[in-house]
Homo-oligomer: A and B are copies of this chain.
């Protein structure tokens, strides 16, 4: 039986958690990244397709490859972040479905082959985005902060990091311990009734 989690937990995951723009020097270890993956991999995807692919950029060499593709306003914080996750989605995710969804081998046929490219793109992008959200929430669950970014040249990132694959960059997310002094003011949210209905 699930319980209602404490306010402190929900604050840490959603309510007081904030997108970070500055970072302390405290590192993020391999063990933390693997612990992070072991949590977010459990989030649901349709047909268990798991299309997200992630490159965690931590070295100075890796950052030097990435920074020229970031928008000017995102370069300094990306350089300062202990880790920058390039979150991609694999357009050929369906090749793994016979293993990931073994009770229904026909699942692959929904996405493989001529005329199925649109279905594969939509499933990869939708489920890869769900997994990106799971990654951010899981990072907060293990005491890390995140700062997601859409301001980058996707074609450049794809060429530099995903060459020779069918993976496309979805979004990029700094991970570490945030500097509270660089957090922006909280922006407004819609009221429930403006955008939702109960019917």
Interface residues of A (CB under 8 A from B): 2-5, 9-10, 12-15, 17, 19, 30, 33-34, 37-44, 46-48, 50, 52-59, 61-62, 90, 96, 99-102, 122-123, 125-127, 129-134, 136-138, 140-146, 148-150, 170-171, 187-190, 192, 195-199
Given A14-B134, A125-B125: A141 and B5 interface contact (C-beta under 8 Å): yes
Asked whether A196 lies within 8 Å of B37 as measured between CB atoms, the reply is yes
Residue in chain B with minimal CB distance to A18 = B44
Asked whether B187 lies within 8 Å of A54 as measured between CB atoms, the reply is no
What are 25 contact pairs spanning A and B, CB under 8 A?
A5-B12, A5-B143, A9-B9, A10-B141, A14-B40, A14-B134, A19-B44, A38-B192, A41-B189, A41-B190, A43-B136, A44-B136, A44-B148, A50-B195, A52-B195, A54-B196, A55-B197, A56-B199, A96-B190, A100-B187, A126-B129, A130-B132, A131-B133, A133-B137, A137-B137
- A130 CA to B163 CA, complexed, in Å: 26
- A100 CA to B195 CA, complexed, in Å: 13
Given A46-B150, A189-B41: A197 and B14 interface contact (C-beta under 8 Å): no
- A5 CA to B126 CA, complexed, in Å: 28
Q: How far is the CB of A174 from chain B (nearest CB, A)?
A: 12
9 tightest Cβ-Cβ pairs between the two chains A and B: A133-B133, A129-B129, A46-B150, A62-B199, A130-B133, A48-B187, A2-B143, A14-B42, A41-B189
Which residues of B have CB within 8 Å of A3? 12, 143
Q: How far is the CB of A26 from chain B (nearest CB, A)?
A: 11
